Amino acid sequence: MTPEFVVEFAKQAIILTIYLSMPMLGLGLAAGLVVSVFQAVTSIQEMTLTFVPKIIAVFLGLLFFAPWMLDQITVFTHRIFVNIPMYIK
């Protein structure tokens, strides 16, 4: 294994991690923005109001995106196992 290979492998793993986390982060961001606007309009400053909608949004996103995320991870892992003979060279 060359240093270039290790760097490329780590790069692919990090890109996949970012790619898989983007839907959850986006949903959490959108829920937080909606709650912040609601709090600014109504002047309600309840701390639990900021966390519960975010948790629900991320949980629903996980339920919706879990099959796609699992497929992406499975494809990445399968590609790693198939290419093990090339990595040993």
Which 8-state DSSP code applies to residue 65? H
Number of domains comprising the chain = 1
The answer to whether position 86 is within a domain reads no
Buried b (16+ CB within 10 A) or exposed e, 28-59: beebeeebeeeeeeeeeeeeeeeeebbeebbe
* Residue closest to 39 by CA, chosen among 53, 26, 57, 28: 53
Question: Could you give the angle at which helices 48-82 and 3-42 cross, rounded to 10 degrees?
Answer: 160
Identify whether 76 is part of a domain. yes
Q: How far apart are the first and last CA of the chain?
A: 7
Q: What is the per-residue pLDDT for 21?
A: 95
Name the band, by pLDDT with cuts 50, 70 and 90, for residue 67.
very high
pLDDT in tens, 8-36: 999 999 999 999 999 999 999 999 999 99
**Domain assignment of residue 75, given as a range:** 44-80
Distance CA 71, CA 76 (A): 9
Does the global pTM surpass 0.75?
yes
Give residue 85's pLDDT band: very low, low, confident or very high (50, 70, 90).
confident
Q: What is the pLDDT of residues 40-57, one digit of tens each?
A: 899 888 888 889 999 999
Quickly tell me which residue has 């923005």 as its tokens: 33
- Residue 35 is predicted with a pLDDT of 92
What integer pLDDT is reported at residue 12 of this predicted model? 94
66 in a structural domain: yes
In a domain, 36, yes or no: no
